[in-house]
Amino acid sequence: MEHGRQPYGQSNSFARRRVLPRENFVLQQSELKALQAQINPHFLYNTLESINWMAKMNGLTPSAAW
């Protein structure tokens, strides 16, 4: 092997190391969006349930609360 030249596998692995952080970032962003899509409906449901129970505790019926 000549001085200054790398074997085929080493230069290829260097190029992959530069690409992987970007791929990981894109994957993390898509996972975050998927989790947010699950959290938002759950948060909305809990908020509405809290309002419903607060109304019931204060003697209001659901139809009177709206």
State the pLDDT at residue 6. Answer: 55
Q: With a cut of 70, which residues of the chain have pLDDT below it?
A: 1-19, 62-66
- Cα 42 to Cα 53: distance, rounded to the nearest angstrom: 16
State pTM to two decimals: 0.41
- Cα 60 to Cα 46: distance, rounded to the nearest angstrom: 19
DSSP string, 17-46: HHHHHHHHHHHHHHHHHHHHHHHHHHHHHH
State the pLDDT at residue 42. Answer: 86
The amino acid at residue 39 is I
